[in-house]
């Protein structure tokens, strides 16, 4: 078992608030790890730091054996990390198919040509000429998109050529996950995939994530719905106020007094709200 | 929401239709049989619209006089003014319109060099005279044998201005502030050369952009060069702004301005600040020349104000072309040849106009030295400025 | 050394004037996220209302001010109510276009009523002057400063202490949330437009008195300066707008001091770009590391594009080709050739603004680069026109991309302002780099369009050439849009954060978009130069940039066919309305407003 993601002593401050405070976290290949914690605990900030959208003030992130701290998100994605977003960030004017194809962006031959002017220029020329290999590649990817969408039953396939802005909220979240899968990620970060979903949709999502786990997908999940977390996770990390307060198998964490404290009687709720505000602005 | 929207729709439509009708009715036909038509391409909207408006006053006055005395061999002379906004894209389309309209016998304009010269190839190819009466760009008439201009030649104007400033007014260290367009730049270059030949030193030249309104910092820079006189090469609106800001910059040096500021607007916009400014003009109401008297009196009677240089050159142009048509006929080629051979047409600006058939321009614009006194242009009495 | 003091004072005096304009723009932006291109027109209306009061009604100063405030406030309410509210909840870009249309209409009305001649606006403020350094400051300078500060203070108090003020601030922060909490956002919009327009009108009055000179043409420059000033401060930030104005005034003044008058704007715009790069959210803007998540596709309207079937494209191209055979009027053919040249510009802009989401307000500069490059290649190096034009396109693509490259890190409106600044810089470099560009004299004798010994002089020849180039470029662009690259570009437009997360390096693709866009615009400019035979720095003005953006939006962002259709419409309408003589630009403005009213997503929809 190799360590896929290794986060050590990660710190991120916003103004006077430390949103992520010396977090250590390791995920091994094939593992399913969940992060739980009250709103404003710093979970999404941690995701932003891992995926490169935000830079840590100190600490390191290692992914697939390389230090990726402070690398641009596109470079980290190219190394095999995909994530979804808490509120959903689909490409509104792209069709479902195109959204998922963007997930496969880094796997396209032309897009991998070095980001020098020459590589970019060649990509441009290739796009205009559309040589056979490119058409074949796109056909292959297109088939893959159908396969991925197939996981969601008939939720998305009939809408494959609809623009994303015309989809329901739940469907947009599904498109996000489909897009992430198209990257063929070594590690998949899911940020509250069931947020805003009703019970049926949540159950469906749970089954889907379970299926991904069965296929051996390494997953790091942020989630509030504890039964989902408890059923699927190999390990649960609990964060509060930017600090890791507990870590262990679901059954152990569930009975940890510190966790119960954090969830039930939150002593510094005001501070947490400030963190939320800082993250939002 | 739906009904509200449709009410507004109706109002919009009504507005548009009304505006359209107004426009068409405004164009009510008053044409007598077979008028002779001149095409005019110039700015009536956009940032140069004011100059097009001035042209119209000159054209209309000339036509009143020509058609009042029977027109050209019984046919009235008229013009078709197409608004180009001084935009080359539109002046090119207008050129196609004019050259393919057989009733147009000659074309006047456009205002700016980019707009005029973009259209020149079309006029040249079609053999229609393009009479660019404000185009001082030296290459304008080089566009072909159909490009003519009676604009005051800067090779005439600027040495005379330099002579006025240096020899007559006795200024020796000049600072020049000029409009940084082809016209302003060429004028400045000729002026600087002439002033040096006359023995003066040019201590500063500052070129400003057409849209500028604030010259205070430019004037500080000019003050630093320690001139004993300031030369303004600009049109009247900019010239007035510069004059006003000279005051707030605390500069009390003698100021000499080119004849393009000769306009009642210069006095109106400049107020007290233009008092004492020296300038030149190609005509002056007190000038006893009969052409000037006919023009100025009639202009004052028709518009209730004094004419400026733009109105005068527009007037001159129509008078000139009517004379050419009278003598040589309405055929396009004949008009071109007529311009080359016609002699001594009475003119406000030149006294008598005769073209140089090689350059297709006119030399020998009349110039008078003026000074602004008591809020009016007055003949310069020969007194030199008190040097502070 | 004392001169530096004078330069500073002068800079502050001018900045003072910009501030009055910028505050109104900032207020509207803060609430509606809208760059109000009509602000300059309200400013000129204010000046003319003042003219009527002072010269015809002989009102004393306080009454003059009151009348100007009231009438322009009312005008603001009308603009919001008639021009903008019907577009609410539609696309975010339609209102921008609407303000351009409103500005056209207002300017034309002012000109029709008061004529194009500049008028003197006598100052009603006593001409007291205080000597400061080498120059002096007048009572009017102080009044302008006082009114600037007072209006900022009143505004502050209004936003802070009144109920409507709270509503305005709440709406500015989160429109939907405010609405849910019972804030009447329509009323807020009305109030904001009333206040901003009243301020705009007042600044027109004061500036008019200051220069003793008002004209209908004064609005465009005023809008540009106001926009630049408020962006330096941070869009939508009122104190920032005041600071940005003073900053702009000072840079202009120091620019003159250091380099001379013709470098004034060059220096100011270079500083503007540097400020934008260093502080991507303006000097007073908050530093945000990530845009909030639901910001997806804010600028782009979700809409379904009208797709043309292949047979229709073929039919249209065939019609286009045969047109000169049927239509014999060279005037119509020439006008259509112009439309094709503008069509290329619109294609170019719709690619960067529509497909890649980088709104550019400096696209005329690409025409200028292409035109100069081709003219100089043909004249100085003796290349044949046929070689010079595509080469000029390549040069434009390269230079254009390099120029915009520093601005790749910017977002939304900041990109627009950066490109506006870059466009001005290009034009001013052309003006000042005399050894290469012949400065203000321009380039004459540019050889005509020709293939071998065959000249393209006749209108149909020019038509076929421009049409063929346009169709060729349009098909290339269409092919690009349908390739994986097109998908990537649209993804960056819709949400660049998500795009980066999925491995897209935005700079690489923005670079490609600008390069292709530069090529297309450069070819258009090059053909134009050979067609005109003479160009100078005034040939490709910033108004053309605004027109190009109008075309790109009107056609439907990113829509290739839409861009061409919009070019035909916007080049053709002013020609059609020639029958209306003096009213033609007014009718054109009204027609534009109608088009936006009924097709806010553009004629053919966003692709």
Mean pLDDT lowest among B311-320, C20-29, C418-427: C20-29
The residue count of chain A comes to: 281
Residue A135 makes CB contacts below 8 A (sequence gap 6+) with none
Q: Which tokens in the block code for residue B82?
A: 């197409």
| Nearest CA-CA partner of B359 in B126, B155, B159, B122 | B155
What pLDDT band is residue C296 in, cutting at 50, 70 and 90?
Answer: very low
A46 CB neighbours in chain C (<8 A) are none
Residue A50 makes CB contacts below 8 A (sequence gap 6+) with A5, A7, A61, A63, A76, A81, A83, A189, A220
Q: Choose the closest CB to A124 out of C290, C504, C512.
A: C512
Looking at residue C353, the DSSP 8-state letter turns out to be I
pLDDT digits (tens, 9 = 90+) for C78-90: 999 988 888 876 5
- The residue behind tokens 């003793």 is C212
* Dist. CA C426–CA A123, nearest whole Å: 29
* Dist. CA A58–CA A70, nearest whole Å: 10
**What pLDDT was estimated at residue B274?**
94
User: Inter-chain contact B182–C581, Cβ cutoff 8 Å?
Assistant: no
* Dist. CA B165–CA A27, nearest whole Å: 87
**What pLDDT was estimated at residue C532?**
92
Q: Which tokens in the block code for residue C15?
A: 């900045």
pLDDT digits (tens, 9 = 90+) for C209-240: 888 889 988 888 888 888 888 888 877 778 88
**What pLDDT was estimated at residue C205?**
92
Q: What is the CATH number of domain C293-320+327-598?
A: 1.10.3470
**What pLDDT was estimated at residue C580?**
80
Three-state SS at B255: strand
Is C376 exposed, middle or buried (CB count within 10 Å of its CB: 0-12, 13-18, 19+)?
A: buried
User: Inter-chain contact C302–A163, Cβ cutoff 8 Å?
Assistant: yes
Q: Where are the domains of chain C?
A: 2-278, 293-320+327-598
What is the nearest CA distance from A244 to chain C, expressed in angstroms? 24
What are the 10-residue block averages of pLDDT along chain A, 281 residues in total?
Answer: 89 88 93 91 92 93 92 93 89 93 92 83 91 93 94 91 89 93 95 89 93 94 90 93 91 85 57 42 38
A74 CB neighbours in chain C (<8 A) are 500-505
**What pLDDT was estimated at residue A1?**
60
**What pLDDT was estimated at residue B5?**
46
Helix (H) or strand (E) holding B106: strand B104-109
Beta carbons within 10 angstroms of residue C91's beta carbon: 22
pLDDT > 70? residue C288: no
Three-state SS at B281: strand
| Nearest CA-CA partner of A220 in A36, A12, A17 | A36
8 Å CB contact between C230 and C40:
no
* More confident: B126 or C86: B126
Q: pTM of the entire structure?
A: 0.89
What is the nearest CA distance from B320 to chain C, expressed in angstroms? 26
CA atoms within 13 A on the CB side of C190: 12
Q: How far is the CA of C435 from the CAs of B117, B185, C85, C440, C525, in angstroms? A: 22, 15, 52, 11, 21
Mean pLDDT across the stretch C174-194? 84
* Dist. CA B180–CA C359, nearest whole Å: 30
- End-to-end C-alpha distance for chain B, whole angstroms: 72
pLDDT digits (tens, 9 = 90+) for C545-583: 989 999 998 898 899 999 999 999 999 998 988 888 778
**What pLDDT was estimated at residue C127?**
75
How much is the mean pLDDT over chain C?
87
Q: Which domains occur in chain B, in start order?
A: 36-152+291-357 (3.40.50.2300), 154-281+368-379 (3.40.50.2300)
Mean pLDDT across the stretch B15-24? 50
Q: Which tokens in the block code for residue B105?
A: 């016998």
**What pLDDT was estimated at residue C186?**
86
Beta carbons within 10 angstroms of residue C483's beta carbon: 21
**What pLDDT was estimated at residue B4?**
47
**What pLDDT was estimated at residue C28?**
84
**What pLDDT was estimated at residue B15?**
54
Mean pLDDT lowest among A29-33, C51-55, C385-389, C599-603: C599-603
* More confident: C365 or C206: C365
CA atoms within 13 A on the CB side of B24: 8
| Nearest CA-CA partner of A20 in A9, A29, A31, A30 | A9
pLDDT > 90? residue C489: yes
| Nearest CA-CA partner of A275 in A36, A20, A52 | A20
* Dist. CA C142–CA C146, nearest whole Å: 6
Q: Which tokens in the block code for residue B382?
A: 């020969």
3-state secondary structure labels for all residues of C257-324: HHHCHHHHHHHHHHHHHHHHHHCCCCCCCCCCCCCCHHHCCCCCCCCCCCCCCHHHHHHHHHHHHHHH
What pLDDT band is residue B147 in, cutting at 50, 70 and 90?
Answer: very high
8 Å CB contact between A14 and A278:
yes
**What pLDDT was estimated at residue A268?**
45
* More confident: B330 or C228: B330
**What pLDDT was estimated at residue C359?**
87
* Dist. CA C382–CA A195, nearest whole Å: 67
Residue A177 makes CB contacts below 8 A (sequence gap 6+) with A84, A190, A193, A208
8 Å CB contact between C259 and C10:
no
* Dist. CA B152–CA B309, nearest whole Å: 10
What pLDDT band is residue B29 in, cutting at 50, 70 and 90?
Answer: very low
**What pLDDT was estimated at residue C90?**
54
Query: What residues of C are in the A interface, CB distance below 8 Å?
Result: 286, 288-290, 292-294, 296-297, 300, 302, 304, 476, 479-480, 483-488, 490-491, 493-495, 497-505, 507-509, 511-512, 515-516, 606-607
Mean pLDDT across the stretch C21-40? 84
Q: Does B137 touch chain C (CB under 8 A)?
A: yes
C597 CB neighbours in chain B (<8 A) are 8-9, 12
Residue C601 makes CB contacts below 8 A (sequence gap 6+) with C90, C91, C94, C301, C303, C556
Are 3 or more Cβ–Cβ pairs between B and C shorter than 8 Å? yes
| Nearest CA-CA partner of C364 in C212, C231, C550 | C550
8 Å CB contact between C401 and C515:
yes
Looking at residue C354, the DSSP 8-state letter turns out to be I
Q: How far is the CA of B260 from the CAs of B231, B379, C170, C569, in angstroms? A: 13, 16, 55, 39
**What pLDDT was estimated at residue A279?**
41
User: Inter-chain contact B118–C539, Cβ cutoff 8 Å?
Assistant: yes
* Dist. CA C377–CA C523, nearest whole Å: 13
pLDDT > 80? residue B27: no
Pick the CATH number of A3-280 from 1.10.10.10, 3.20.20.70, 3.40.50.300, 3.40.50.1240: 3.40.50.300
pLDDT digits (tens, 9 = 90+) for C235-271: 777 888 888 899 999 999 999 988 888 888 888 889 8
Residue-by-residue DSSP string for chain A: --EEEEEEEEEEEETTEEEEEEEEEEEETT-EEEEE-STTSSHHHHHHHHHTSS--SEEEEEETTEE-TT--HHHHHHTTEEE--SS----TTSBHHHHHHHHTGGGSHHHHS-SSHHHHHHHHHHHHH--HHHHHHHHHHHHHHHHHHHTTTTTTGGGTTSBGGGS-HHHHHHHHHHHHHHT--SEEEEE-TTTT--HHHHHHHHHHHHHHHHTT-EEEEE-S-HHHHHHH-SEEEEEETTEEEEEE-HHHHHT-HHHHHHHHS-TTHHHHHHHHHHHH-
Q: Does B5 touch chain C (CB under 8 A)?
A: yes
**What pLDDT was estimated at residue B322?**
95
Q: What is the CATH number of domain C2-278?
A: 1.10.3470
pLDDT > 80? residue C391: yes
What is the nearest CA distance from B237 to chain C, expressed in angstroms? 7
User: Of the spans A82-91, B318-327, C444-453, C493-502, which averages the highest pLDDT?
Assistant: B318-327
**What pLDDT was estimated at residue C117?**
86
pLDDT > 80? residue B335: yes
pLDDT > 60? residue C290: no
- List, as ranges, residues 54-113 from A with C-beta within 8 Å of C: 54, 72-74, 77-78, 82-83, 85-94, 98, 101-103, 105-106, 108, 110-111
| Nearest CA-CA partner of C395 in C369, C364, C368 | C369
Torsion angle, alpha carbons of C10, C12, C18, C21, to 10: -140
**What pLDDT was estimated at residue A14?**
86
Mean pLDDT across the stretch C358-380? 95
Q: Choose the closest CB to C441 out of B83, B185, B214.
A: B185
| Nearest CA-CA partner of C143 in C125, C121, C130 | C125
* Dist. CA C512–CA A123, nearest whole Å: 9
Is A100 exposed, middle or buried (CB count within 10 Å of its CB: 0-12, 13-18, 19+)?
A: buried
Range list of H helices, C115-236: 139-161, 163-173, 175-180, 185-211, 218-233
User: Inter-chain contact C444–B117, Cβ cutoff 8 Å?
Assistant: yes
pLDDT digits (tens, 9 = 90+) for C491-549: 998 888 999 999 999 999 999 999 999 999 999 999 999 999 999 988 998 889 989 99
Residue C65 makes CB contacts below 8 A (sequence gap 6+) with C202, C205
What pLDDT band is residue C92 in, cutting at 50, 70 and 90?
Answer: low
Torsion angle, alpha carbons of B151, B155, B157, B158, to 10: 140
Phi-psi region of B355 (alpha: psi -120 to 50; beta: other; left: phi over 0): beta
A89 CB neighbours in chain C (<8 A) are 293, 296, 495, 497-498, 501
CA nearest C254 in B: which residue? B217
| Nearest CA-CA partner of C363 in C569, C540, C574 | C540
User: Phi then psi for C130, rounded to 5 degrees?
Assistant: -115, 125
What is the nearest CA distance from C558 to chain A, expressed in angstroms? 11
C139-161 and C238-259 helices, crossing angle to 10°: 150
* Dist. CA B151–CA B314, nearest whole Å: 10
Mean pLDDT lowest among B365-379, C232-246, C363-377, C462-476: C232-246
What pLDDT band is residue C184 in, cutting at 50, 70 and 90?
Answer: confident
Mean pLDDT lowest among A165-174, B22-31, C67-76: B22-31
What pLDDT band is residue B387 in, cutting at 50, 70 and 90?
Answer: low
Q: Which tokens in the block code for residue C13?
A: 């005096």
């Amino acid at each position: 078992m190799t360590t896929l993601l290794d986060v050590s002593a990660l710190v991120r401050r916003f103004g006077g608030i430390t949103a992520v405070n010396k977090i250590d976290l390791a995920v091994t290949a094939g593992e399913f790890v969940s992060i739980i914690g009250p709103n404003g605990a710093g979970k999404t900030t941690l995701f932003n730091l891992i995926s490169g959208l935000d830079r840590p003030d100190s600490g390191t992130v290692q992914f697939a054996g390389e230090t990726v701290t402070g690398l641009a998100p596109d470079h980290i994605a190219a190394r095999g990390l995909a994530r979804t977003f808490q509120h959903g960030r689909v490409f509104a004017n792209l069709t479902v198919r195109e959204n998922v194809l963007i997930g496969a962006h880094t796997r396209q031959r032309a897009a991998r040509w070095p980001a020098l002017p020459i590589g970019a220029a060649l990509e441009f020329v290739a796009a205009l000429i559309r040589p056979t290999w490119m058409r074949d590649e796109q056909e292959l990817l297109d088939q893959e998109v159908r396969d991925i969408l197939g996981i969601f039953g008939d939720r998305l396939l009939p809408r494959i050529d609809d623009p994303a802005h015309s989809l329901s909220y739940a469907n947009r979240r599904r498109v996000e996950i489909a897009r992430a899968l198209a990257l063929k990620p070594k590690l998949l970060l899911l940020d509250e995939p069931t947020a805003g979903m009703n019970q049926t949709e949540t159950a469906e999502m749970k089954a889907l994530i379970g299926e991904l786990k069965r296929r051996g997908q390494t997953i790091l999940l942020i989630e509030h719905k504890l039964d989902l977390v408890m059923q699927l996770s190999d390990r649960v990390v609990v964060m509060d106020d930017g600090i890791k307060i507990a870590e262990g198998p679901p059954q152990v964490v569930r009975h940890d007094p510190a966790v119960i404290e954090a969830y039930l009687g939150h002593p510094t709720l005001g501070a947490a709200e400030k963190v939320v505000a800082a993250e939002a602005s | 929401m739906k009904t509200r929207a449709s009410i507004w729709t109706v109002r919009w439509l009504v507005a548009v239709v009304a505006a359209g009708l107004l426009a068409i009715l405004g164009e009510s036909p008053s044409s007598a049989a077979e008028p002779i038509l001149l095409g005019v391409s110039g700015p009536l909207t956009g940032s140069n619209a004011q100059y097009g408006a001035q042209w119209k006053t000159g054209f209309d006055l000339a036509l009143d006089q020509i058609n009042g005395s029977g027109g050209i061999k019984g046919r009235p002379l008229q013009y078709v003014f197409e608004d180009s906004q001084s935009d080359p894209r539109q002046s090119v389309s207008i050129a196609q319109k004019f050259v393919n309209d057989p009733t147009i016998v000659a074309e006047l304009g456009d205002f700016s060099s980019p707009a005029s010269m973009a259209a020149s190839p079309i006029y040249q190819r079609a053999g229609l005279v393009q009479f660019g009466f404000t185009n001082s760009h030296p290459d304008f008439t080089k566009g072909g044998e159909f490009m003519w201009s009676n604009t005051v030649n800067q090779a005439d104007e600027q040495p005379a201005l330099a002579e006025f400033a240096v020899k007559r007014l006795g200024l020796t260290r000049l600072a020049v502030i000029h409009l940084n367009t082809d016209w302003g730049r060429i004028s400045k270059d000729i002026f600087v050369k002439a002033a040096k030949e006359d023995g003066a030193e040019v201590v500063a030249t500052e070129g400003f952009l057409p849209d500028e309104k604030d010259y205070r910092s430019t004037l500080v820079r000019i003050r630093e060069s320690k001139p004993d006189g300031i030369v303004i090469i600009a049109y009247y609106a900019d010239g007035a702004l510069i004059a006003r800001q000279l005051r707030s910059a605390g500069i009390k040096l003698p100021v000499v301005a080119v004849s393009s500021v000769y306009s009642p607007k210069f006095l109106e916009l400049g107020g007290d600040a233009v008092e004492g400014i020296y300038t030149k003009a190609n005509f002056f109401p007190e000038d006893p020349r009969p052409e000037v008297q006919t023009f100025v009196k009639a202009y004052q009677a028709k518009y209730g104000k004094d004419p400026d240089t733009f109105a005068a050159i527009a007037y001159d142009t129509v008078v000139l072309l009517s004379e050419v048509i009278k003598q040589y006929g309405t055929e396009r080629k004949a008009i071109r040849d007529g311009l080359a051979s016609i002699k001594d047409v009475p003119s406000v600006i030149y006294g008598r106009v005769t073209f140089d058939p090689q350059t297709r321009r006119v030399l020998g614009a009349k110039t008078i030295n003026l000074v602004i006194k008591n809020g009016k242009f007055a003949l310069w009495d020969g007194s030199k400025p008190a040097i502070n | 050394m004392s001169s530096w003091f004078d330069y500073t004072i002068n800079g502050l005096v001018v900045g003072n004037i910009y501030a009055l304009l910028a505050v109104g723009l900032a207020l509207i932006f803060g609430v509606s996220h809208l760059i109000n291109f009509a602000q300059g027109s309200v400013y000129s209306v204010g000046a003319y209302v003042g003219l009527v009061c002072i010269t015809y009604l002989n009102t004393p100063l306080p009454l003059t001010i009151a009348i100007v405030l009231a009438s322009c406030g009312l005008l603001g309410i009308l603009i919001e109510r008639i021009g903008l509210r019907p577009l609410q909840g539609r696309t975010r870009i339609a209102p921008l276009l609407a303000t351009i249309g409103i500005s056209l209409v207002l300017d034309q009305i002012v000109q029709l009523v008061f004529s194009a001649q500049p008028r003197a606006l006598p100052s009603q403020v006593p001409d007291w002057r205080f000597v400061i350094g080498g120059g002096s400051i007048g009572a009017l300078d102080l009044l302008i400063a006082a009114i600037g500060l007072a209006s900022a203070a009143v505004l502050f108090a209004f936003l802070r202490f009144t109920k409507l003020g709270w509503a305005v601030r709440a709406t500015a922060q989160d429109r939907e949330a405010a609405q849910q909490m019972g804030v009447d956002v329509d009323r807020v919009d009305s109030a904001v437009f009333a206040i901003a327009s009243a301020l705009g009108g007042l600044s027109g009055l004061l500036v008019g008195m200051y220069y003793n000179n008002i004209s209908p043409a004064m609005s465009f420059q005023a809008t540009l300066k106001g926009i630049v000033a408020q962006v330096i401060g941070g869009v939508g930030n009122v104190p920032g707008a005041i600071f940005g104005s003073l900053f702009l005034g000072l840079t202009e003044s120091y620019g003159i001091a250091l380099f001379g008058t013709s470098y004034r704007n060059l220096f100011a715009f270079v500083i503007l770009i540097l400020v934008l790069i260093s502080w991507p959210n303006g000097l007073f803007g908050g530093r945000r590391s990530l845009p909030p998540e639901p910001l997806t596709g804010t600028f782009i309207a979700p809409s379904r594009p009208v797709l043309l079937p292949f047979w229709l494209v073929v039919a249209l191209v065939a019609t286009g080709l045969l047109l000169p055979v049927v239509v014999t009027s060279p005037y119509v053919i020439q006008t259509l050739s112009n439309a094709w040249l503008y069509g290329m510009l619109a294609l170019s802009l719709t690619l960067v603004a529509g497909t890649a989401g980088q709104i550019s307000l400096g696209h005329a500069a690409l025409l200028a680069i292409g035109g100069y490059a081709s003219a100089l290649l043909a004249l100085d190096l003796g290349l044949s026109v046929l070689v010079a034009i595509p080469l000029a396109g390549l040069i434009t693509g390269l230079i254009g991309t390099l120029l915009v490259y520093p601005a790749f890190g910017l977002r939304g409106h900041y990109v627009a302002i950066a490109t506006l600044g870059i466009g001005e810089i290009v034009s001013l470099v052309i003006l000042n780099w005399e050894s290469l560009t012949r400065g203000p004299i321009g380039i004459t004798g540019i050889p005509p369009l020709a293939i071998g010994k065959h000249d393209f002089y006749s209108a149909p020849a020019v038509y076929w050439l421009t049409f063929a180039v346009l169709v060729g470029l349009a098909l290339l662009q269409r092919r690009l849009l349908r390739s994986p690259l097109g998908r990537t570009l649209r993804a960056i437009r819709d949400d660049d954060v998500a795009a980066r997360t999925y491995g897209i390096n935005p700079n690489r693709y923005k670079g490609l978009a600008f390069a292709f866009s530069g090529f297309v615009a450069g070819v258009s400019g090059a053909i134009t130069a050979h067609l005109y035979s003479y160009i100078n720095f005034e040939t490709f003005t910033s108004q053309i940039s605004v027109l190009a953006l109008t075309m790109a939006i009107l056609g439907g962002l990113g829509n290739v066919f839409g861009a061409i259709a919009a070019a035909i419409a916007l080049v053709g309408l002013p020609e059609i309305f020639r029958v209306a003589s003096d009213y033609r630009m007014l009718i054109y403005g009204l027609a534009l407003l109608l088009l936006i009213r009924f097709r806010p997503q553009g004629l053919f929809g966003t692709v």
